[in-house]
Amino acid sequence: MASQDKRVSYVAACACPAEFTFFTKADDPSSIIDRYRSIGVIRDKDFPHSTEEWLNGFRLVSPIKYVAGIAPRPLLLVHGSEDETVEVSDTHKLYERAGEPKQLIIVEGAGHRLRQSDKAMTIVIGWLKSHT
């Protein structure tokens, strides 16, 4: 008799956009890069090497198309209420499409860089520990 692997995967997504159309439909891609430099998302002065290749990568990614496939793995969606990069509504869209089990947490006052938020990381770590 073959043994079954009892490991379960868990997925925690922080500040995840539902789609990347805000990149791919931009009239002026350099304005996107300038904006993300101004808010500190892009800090490398030489990045991206090719704006066109960078944007093409985002055309291939669409979390909203795949979020339902995460189930039956537990999913945690965490988003900052003051996210300056990704709209909070994106997290709600992902949550609506996701299968069970799922949980949505909006961290009041947090921006996009949730990994730098003690409150957000405490939530994620606590959630992961509760599922082990």
Domains of the chain: 1-19+64-132 (3.40.50.1820), 20-61 (no CATH)
Alpha-carbon span 60 to 2, nearest angstrom: 38
Reported as a single tens digit per residue, the pLDDT across 48-79 is 998 888 888 887 888 999 999 999 999 999 99
CA gap 25, 17 in Å, rounded: 15
Q: Which of 38, 44, 47, 124 is nearest to 79 (CA)?
A: 124
| Band (6; pLDDT cuts 50, 70, 90) | low
Would you state the pLDDT for residue 3?
39
Q: What share of the chain in percent tops pLDDT 70?
A: 90
pLDDT at 4: 47
Higher pLDDT, 131 or 74: 74
Residue 14 near residue 78 (C-beta atoms within 8 A)? yes
Which pTM was predicted? 0.79
Range list of β-strands (E), the chain: 11-14, 75-80, 102-107
Cis peptide before 101 (omega within 30 of 0): yes
